[in-house]
């Protein structure tokens, strides 16, 4: 067995100054509050104690804006992990953050604390869509952030969300092409769904946001998969990770616990019908 081990830590809304219209991190992750240093150390030991594989082992901080947290808080989270890194017990650290919270100085800080992979929540490369989603950053921020991260030697993953307010097929495919132009190491695709207690739920109930149908989203994600495949960019996730808390929170939209399988089946069927571009494994 040589699969990769990811030891996840969630920091719901950590560093987030504004809340994006679609976001309810505690329900997505099922976790409330950031872990303490002792909890981080104990969780790493627990995962390493049961891991029998030989692949890469990394700690990953998800669920907030890591680099917008106070520096002391970032160091508090990273220090216990760095100790395992120094002893050769894990191979790397991954953090997720927003494009407007990366600079040359911040990229250097991350490298100096053992971080080797950064995931950016890009969500869209269309500035109107970003504004309607209350993201608080622009597409230009994403371009600049990817440049800083790559210059510092960090691996870069980009997350985006087809189906946000203001999106249509054309804005989504333009976003995909711009992301491909940034040459990330991998991407995650999270189709937009309406969650309870979010601003998007209010927009939905007021008739100001119409979620995409499952059929529309599966078909478009098949197209997206082809574009990334042809560009040689890995999609490491397509669709929200299933949890019991998440399922209870879904109000509307194209959520399915096996969304990735639906896209693979649809694209295989489409390829068979056209006799052309081949099966897509997303
Ligand atoms: S930046 Fe990320 S974690 Fe923070 S509110 Fe937006 S989507 Fe949620």
Q: What is the pLDDT of residues 4-26, one digit of tens each?
A: 999 999 988 888 888 999 998 66
Q: What pTM, to 2 d.p., does this model score? A: 0.92
Domain presence at residue 147: yes
Residue 65 CB–ligand 1 contact under 6 Å: yes
Q: Please give the C-alpha separations between residue 96 and each of 41, 54, 103, 156, 279, in angstroms, as whole numbers.
A: 20, 25, 14, 10, 31
Residue 64 CB–ligand 1 contact under 6 Å: yes
Domain presence at residue 150: yes
CATH of the domain at 70: 3.20.20.70
Tens digit of each residue's pLDDT (9 = 90 or more) over 227-245: 999 999 999 999 998 888 8
Domain presence at residue 265: no
**Of residues 53 and 166, more confidently modeled:** 166
Confidence of residue 156 (pLDDT cuts 50, 70, 90): very high
Instruction: Tell me the residue range of the domain where 19 lies.
Output: 5-189+233-241
Tens digit of each residue's pLDDT (9 = 90 or more) over 55-109: 999 999 998 899 999 999 999 999 999 999 999 999 999 999 999 999 999 999 9
Tokens linked to 48? 């390493």
Mean pLDDT of 118-144: 98
> Ligand 1 centre from 277 Cα, in Å?
36
Whether 111 has a pLDDT exceeding 50, the answer reads yes
Confidence of residue 246 (pLDDT cuts 50, 70, 90): confident
Residue 211 CB–ligand 1 contact under 6 Å: no
Domain presence at residue 36: yes
Domain presence at residue 251: no
Domain presence at residue 195: no
Domain presence at residue 155: yes
Whether 48 has a pLDDT exceeding 70, the answer reads yes
| pLDDT score recorded for residue 279 | 46
> Ligand 1 centre from 20 Cα, in Å?
6
> Ligand 1 centre from 196 Cα, in Å?
15
Whether 280 has a pLDDT exceeding 60, the answer reads no
Whether 145 has a pLDDT exceeding 50, the answer reads yes
> Ligand 1 centre from 231 Cα, in Å?
28
| pLDDT score recorded for residue 2 | 54
The fraction of the chain above a pLDDT of 90, given in percent, is 80
Number of independent structural domains in the chain: 1
Report the 3 state secondary structure along the chain: CCCCEEEEEECCCCCCCCCCCCCCHHHHHCCCCCCCHHHHHHHHHHHHHHCCCCCCEEEEEECCCHHHCCHHHHHHHHHHHHHHHHCCCCCEEEEEECHHHCCHHHHHHHHHCCEEEEEEEEECCCHHHHHHCCCCCCHHHHHHHHHHHHHCCCEEEEEECCCCCCCCHHHHHHHHHHHHHCCCCEEEECCCCEECCCHHHHHHHCCCCCCCCHHHHHHHHHHHHHHHHHHCCEEEEECCCCCHHHHHHEEECCCCCCHHHHHHHHHHHHHHHHCCCCCCCC
Residue 19 CB–ligand 1 contact under 6 Å: yes
Domain presence at residue 203: no
């Amino acid at each position: 067995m040589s699969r990769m081990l990811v030891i996840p830590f969630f920091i719901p809304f950590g560093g987030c100054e504004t809340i994006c219209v679609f976001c309810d991190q505690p329900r997505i992750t099922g976790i409330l509050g950031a872990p303490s240093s002792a909890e981080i150390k104990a969780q790493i030991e627990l995962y390493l104690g049961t891991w029998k594989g030989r692949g890469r082992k990394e700690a990953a901080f998800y669920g907030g804006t890591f680099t917008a947290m106070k520096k002391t808080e970032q160091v508090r989270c990273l220090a216990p992990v760095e100790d395992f890194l120094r002893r050769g017990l894990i191979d790397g650290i991954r953090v997720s953050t927003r494009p407007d919270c990366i600079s040359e100085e911040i990229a250097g800080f991350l490298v100096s604390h053992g971080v080797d992979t950064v995931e950016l929540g890009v969500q869209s490369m269309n500035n109107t869509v970003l504004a309607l989603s209350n993201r608080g950053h622009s597409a230009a921020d994403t371009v600049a952030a990817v440049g800083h991260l790559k210059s510092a030697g960090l691996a870069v993953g980009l997350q985006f969300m087809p189906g946000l307010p203001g999106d249509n097929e054309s804005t989504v495919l333009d976003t995909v092409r711009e992301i491909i132009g940034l040459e990330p190491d991998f991407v995650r695709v999270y189709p937009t769904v309406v969650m309870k207690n979010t601003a998007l739920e209010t927009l939905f109930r007021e008739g100001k946001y119409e979620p995409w149908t499952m059929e529309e989203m599966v078909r478009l994600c098949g197209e997206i998969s082809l574009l990334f495949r042809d560009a040689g960019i890995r999609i490491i996730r397509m669709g929200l990770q299933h949890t019991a808390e998440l399922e209870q929170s879904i109000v509307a939209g194209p959520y399915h616990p096996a969304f990735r399988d639906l896209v693979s089946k649809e694209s295989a069927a489409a390829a068979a019908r056209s006799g052309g571009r081949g099966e897509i494994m997303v």
